[in-house]
Amino acid sequence: MPQSTGTIITVAPTGAEHAKPDVPNLPVTLAELVSTAQDCERVGAAMIHVHIRGEDTRPTLDLGRLKDTVAALREQTNLIVQLSTGGAVTDPEADRLRVLDALPDSASCTMGTVNFGDDVFLNRWEFIVELHQRMLERGIVPEYEIFDLGQLSTLRRLLDKHGLPAGGHVHVDLVMGVPGGMPGDAETLVAAMRLVPDGATFSATGVGRATLPVMLASLSAGGHLRVGMEDTITYARGERVKDNAQLVARAAGLARIAQRPPLAAGQVRELLGVKGEKGLADVAV
């Protein structure tokens, strides 16, 4: 695995699981999302993993809103804009595929089905292949989301059968500690990174109380970081997260201590094969 001298910090500010009434500081409007994105960029984030909400504050995959979100984040930040194709566990495949028509710089692509608390996050093989191919056609750089070790075998199968993604580089995100997925600890992170394809980069995020063990393990193993209120709303025992920037600032501080400071968005574009300072606005579908 190539050792990076810096750290990619991705912020996942909203997710699809927390309800606004339970988490009043969760960014759900476009204005809140842009404002949190700017704050996070200022303290070290280079990429943003985006789930959007509707007027009712609930998750939506409305294409018009997704396009407006991509445009606003491009205009008002220099972050790499990654849309979630995972959505919420209830979202149909057709809606999840349509996300790609919003032409983000990057999109998530989960490598298999996993129990997700009391729910099931469904990702059939044919659906994964369809996502991969549509991303290739549109020049969108995937981030392969891995919730369990077997999903790394599916990633190898995908690359063997269907070739490299847009940008020619493979980047993986280990999402650890989801109830039903792989545990969020150092031992499991090491097991997972051994299965990451040669030449690929990986980042990791620990859900809930796995946040700190996974962050520290990833940094020490040469991995990158994803943080944000999608994955945790607790900063320390008994203390709620103030905002997403607080989580990014902590990750950036630890990355500096590890002598692998946060990479700027331009450096990350180069590393991951994401085109253009402001993305792929010139690609027509």
Q: Which residue number, 36 or 85, has a Cβ lying nearer to ligand KMH?
A: 85
Query: Does 123 interact with Zn ion (rule: CB under 5 A)?
Result: no
Query: Does 23 interact with ligand KMH (rule: CB under 6 A)?
Result: no
Shortest Å, Cβ 90 to ligand KMH: 9
Shortest Å, Cβ 158 to ligand KMH: 15
Long-range CB contacts (< 8 A, 24+ apart) of 24-33? Answer: 25/229, 25/240, 25/241, 25/242, 25/243, 26/229, 26/233, 27/229, 27/244, 28/53, 28/57, 29/53, 30/65, 30/68, 30/69, 30/72, 33/69, 33/72, 33/73
Burial 262-284 (b: 16+ CB within 10 A, else e): bbebeebbebbbbbeeebbeeee
- How far apart CA 41 and CA 14 sit, in angstroms, is 16
Work out which of 60, 77, 84, 110 binds Zn ion, going by CB under 5 A. 84
Q: Which residue number, 6 or 8, has a Cβ lying nearer to Zn ion?
A: 8
**Residues 51, 14: contact at Cβ < 8 Å?**
yes
Query: Does 121 interact with ligand KMH (rule: CB under 6 A)?
Result: yes
Query: Does 108 interact with ligand KMH (rule: CB under 6 A)?
Result: yes
Residue 285: CB atoms within 10 A of its CB come to: 10
**What's the one-letter identity of residue 3?**
Q
Work out which of 14, 69, 110, 203 binds ligand KMH, going by CB under 6 A. 110
Work out which of 26, 46, 116, 174 binds ligand KMH, going by CB under 6 A. 116
DSSP 8-state class, residue 7: B
Name 60's bridge partners: 52
136 binds, among Zn ion, ligand KMH, none (CB under 5 to 8 A by kind): none
Shortest Å, Cβ 83 to ligand KMH: 9
Query: Does 106 interact with ligand KMH (rule: CB under 6 A)?
Result: no
Q: Which residue number, 175 or 263, has a Cβ lying nearer to ligand KMH?
A: 175
Work out which of 39, 105, 145, 148 binds ligand KMH, going by CB under 6 A. 145
Q: Which residue number, 7 or 84, has a Cβ lying nearer to Zn ion?
A: 84
Distances (CA, A) of 151 to 22, 174, 266: 32, 10, 29
Query: Does 201 interact with Zn ion (rule: CB under 5 A)?
Result: no
> Which residues sit at the interface with ligand KMH, rule CB under 6 A?
15-16, 84-86, 88-89, 108, 110, 116, 121, 145
> Which residues sit at the interface with Zn ion, rule CB under 5 A?
84
